[in-house]
Amino acid sequence: MALVLTEEQQLLRDTATQFFQERLPIANLRKLRDTKDATGFDRAIWKEMSDLGFAGIMISEKYGGTDFGPVGLGLVLEQAGRTLAASPLVSTVLLCGSAVQLAGNATQRQDILSAIAAGDRIMALALEEGPHHNPTHIATRAEADGNAFKITGKKTFVLDGHVADQLIVAARTSGNENDRAGITLFLVDPKSEGVKITRTLMVDSRNAADISFDNVSVPATAVLGSVDGGIDVLEQVLDIARIGISAEMLGLVQEVFDTTLAYLKERKQFGKVIGSFQALQHRMATQFAEIELCRSVVLDALSALEARRNDVPLIASLAKARLSDTATVMTNEGLQMHGGMGMTDQFDVGLFMKRARVATASFGDGNFHRDRYASLEGY
């Protein structure tokens, strides 16, 4: 159990803090949004992040990564959450990098992991098919066709799907729509014939896409892991993503809390600062308590990943549920306490609220994870 950071980790956090504040402040997200940027993040800055080792943080040195581990990645994500930094960390590093690390063969690892670590490849996981996270509900089919597979189906909410250089597609090779078995992961070139990608503009101004596959032919070498055995990999990958996004949301709620607290000390009404009103003080103190609990949970989840503890699924669900719920409440409280200012586009709190909603829906919200937690605990 390590709920306290090592010196090396504190150093990494300081580097990340400085980087995001200087290179990816909230102004960066506003610019991307207002210019309707086609990529949705800044590729040059992503390259800088790779040079700092952020892209290869979970990748071993053998492939050019920095191998700082999950706690390191969590610290970077937390800082990214504070400035709403748009980057392919979730799609490329958390999801696809982890999938290749866990299930890739030697060739796939060599090719993909080194490209990710170098910041040269953007990847996206095409998983969801409905409006709610449901990793076993997969109707997209991959039919064996000689030495190849033909993929047909529709995917939605594919993070960074419209800019990805390579996709990982979860498709069904056997069984029925809700079976756990029978899911296979495929590496797919988005330029393949039959792939149609539509960018969906989301409320958080980040990237997602709907992708349809119409008889898309992929060779057998494109299978990532084992045929029909994709769910085991997926679940591990998703837990990494859930914990990572929880770390991002920790930064997000902390930032909203800090800015709101500062506002309460500065805004005057009735001849005094509004932070002197107990009606607001107690709500802030309550949120302070909730966020302290969030921090413990996220740290424990990250160290569970690092130590490969067998309660990772449980603590991942705990973290994702708690952070999702707290983010909803804290962004609402933050907005309310800014009064009319909170409703303006000019103030940042609205941007945090929008990102919180999308992060909450990513890979299971509180409802999904409480249900999962109960099932894992056997009740």
Partner 1 sequence: MEALEKFRQETRAWLEENCPPSMRTPMTSEDETVWGGRNAKYANPEAKLWLDRMAERGWTAPTWPAAYGGGGLTKEENQVLQQEMRRIKARPPLSSFGIWMLGPALLEFANEEQKKEHLPKIVRGEIRWCQGYSEPGAGSDLAGLQTKCEDKGDHYLVNGQKIWTSYADKADWIFCLVRTDPTKKHDGISFLLFDMATPGVEARPISMISGASPFCETFFTDVKVPKGNLVGELNKGWTIAKRLLQHEREMISGMGLGGAGSGAGLGGLEQAAKDYYGEQNGRVASPSLRDHITRQKMDGKAFALTMQRSAEEAKAGQGPGAASSIFKYYGTELNKRRFELLLEIMGTKGLGWEGEGFTGDEITVIRSWLRSKGNSIEGGTSEVQLNVVSKRVLGLPD
Ligand X SMILES: Cc1cc2nc3c(=O)[nH]c(=O)nc-3n(C[C@H](O)[C@H](O)[C@H](O)COP(=O)(O)OP(=O)(O)OC[C@H]3O[C@@H](n4cnc5c(N)ncnc54)[C@H](O)[C@@H]3O)c2cc1C
Shortest gap between Cβ of 341 and ligand X (angstroms)? Answer: 6
For residues 322 and 338, which CB has a smaller minimum distance to ligand X in the complex?
Answer: 338
- Residue 336, contacted partner among partner 1, ligand X, none, CB below 5-8 A by kind: ligand X
Q: Indicate whether 340 belongs to the interface with partner 1 (CB under 8 A).
A: no
Residue 72, token pair as written in the block: 């390191």
Q: Indicate whether 259 belongs to the interface with ligand X (CB under 6 A).
A: no
Q: Indicate whether 279 belongs to the interface with ligand X (CB under 6 A).
A: yes
Among 4, 38, 106, 270, binds ligand X (CB under 6 A): 270
Quick check: helix, strand or coil at residue 70? helix
Q: Indicate whether 11 belongs to the interface with partner 1 (CB under 8 A).
A: no
For residues 159 and 208, is the Cβ–Cβ distance under 8 A? Answer: yes
Q: Indicate whether 375 belongs to the interface with partner 1 (CB under 8 A).
A: yes
- Residue 185, contacted partner among partner 1, ligand X, none, CB below 5-8 A by kind: none
**DSSP H or E stretch at residue 224:** strand 223-224
Shortest gap between Cβ of 260 and ligand X (angstroms)? Answer: 10
**For partner 1, which stretch binds (CB under 8 A), given 31-39, 59-67, 174-182, 314-322?**
314-322
221 secondary structure, DSSP code: G
For residues 225 and 366, which CB has a smaller minimum distance to partner 1 in the complex?
Answer: 366
Measure CA 361 to chain center: 10
Residues between 92 and 121 that touch partner 1 (CB under 8 A): none
CA distance 87 to 28: 11
Residues between 288 and 307 that touch partner 1 (CB under 8 A): 288-289, 292-297, 299-300
Among 309, 328, 336, 358, binds ligand X (CB under 6 A): 336
Q: Indicate whether 276 belongs to the interface with ligand X (CB under 6 A).
A: no
- Residue 318, contacted partner among ligand X, partner 1, none, CB below 5-8 A by kind: partner 1
Sign of CA dihedral 316, 317, 318, 319: positive
225 secondary structure, DSSP code: S
CA distance 37 to 64: 30
What is the secondary structure of 39-69 as a DSSP string?
Answer: SSS-HHHHHHHHHTTSTTTTS-GGGT----H
Q: Indicate whether 274 belongs to the interface with ligand X (CB under 6 A).
A: yes
CA distance 65 to 72: 13
**For ligand X, which stretch binds (CB under 6 A), given 118-126, 153-161, 210-218, 277-285?**
277-285
Q: Indicate whether 284 belongs to the interface with partner 1 (CB under 8 A).
A: yes
Q: Give how many residues touch partner 1 by CB under 8 A.
A: 39
Q: How many Cα atoms within 13 Å fall on the side-chain side of residue 64?
A: 17
Say which residues have a Cβ less than 8 Å from residue 68's Cβ, sequence separation at least 6: 12, 53, 57, 58
Give residue number: closest CB to ligand X. Answer: 339
Q: At what angle do helices 349-361 and 230-264 cross, to 10 degrees?
A: 160
Measure CA 79 to chain center: 13
Binding site for ligand X (CB under 6 A): 267, 269-270, 274, 277, 279-280, 336-337, 339-340, 343
